[in-house]
Amino acid sequence: MTLVMGILNVTPDSFSDGGNWDSADAAIAQGIQLAKDGARLVDVGGESTRPGAERVSPEVELERVVPVVTALSQEGIAVSVDTMRAATARAAVEAGALLVNDVSGGLADPDMAPTIAGLDCDYVAMHWRAHSTRMDALDTYDDVVAEVRDELAARIEELTVAGVAEDRIILDPGLGFSKVAESNWPLLADITGWAGDARVLIGASRKRFLGVAITPDEFERFGDDLPAPAPSPQERDHATTAITAMCAREGVWGVRVHDARAASDAIAVVATWQNALNTQDSGS
């Protein structure tokens, strides 16, 4: 069954919930709630990767992340860490994190691949072309599925050469990262085309391209400029749940979401439906 990864942004500036959980106590309470709502992993991040976001210092990221990872792990909650920095990845795993979720796929920090090779954890390699301040300008593809496949294959090669077992690597197409609107949909429509047999994490929650889909008339232009603000990120939750249901039907390994309860419910409904179909097929 598809795994729910609950998003826990310990930041003041994330695009949909920045500032909600930017103290350790608030973040820990929210992490516990996400687990109660069905998140099998709580993904703790201390640096926003929203479009246009500036980087924070390594020291600030560590101060935000490690106490929360430690506390949630001590509560028996499975935790992942959302970071592009090898030092933060190592500190979080030592504090109890089971997975490193790297939106840069190792491109942002040359120490990431050898660090992961020496850690006992899984690793999400996301498709990425540049940091948040530049990424929208790089939404340029002749064949987005083929190019994402090839660029992720290069990430896998670097990781495995460094000593990371391939079965520890999970692939993420990087929806919304150097993909403003239409570039995202072919990646959802042809997951096998870019992922092959690898485990897949889909992170569509509240992203801009969902706003484009549900209110297309309100978005007049794309490219380097950010789309118009409506609908708000929270108003994209129903669209996110639709993506979750489609992912569950396709057997995707995991979805990264803000609303863990809605995702868990959608996945349970899809599983029940599929069981009914399988029972019907076996009896025919």
Is there a catalytic annotation at residue 207? yes
208-217 long-range contacts, CB within 8 A, separation 24+: 208/51, 208/176, 208/180, 208/181, 209/175, 209/176, 209/179, 209/180, 209/181, 209/182, 209/184, 209/185, 210/236, 210/239, 210/240, 210/243, 211/235, 211/236, 211/239, 212/181, 213/239, 214/239
Is there a catalytic annotation at residue 40? no
d(CA 50, CA 38): 25
Angle CA 150–152–154, to nearest 5: 75
Catalytic residue among 50, 85, 168, 207: 207
Active site residues: 207, 256
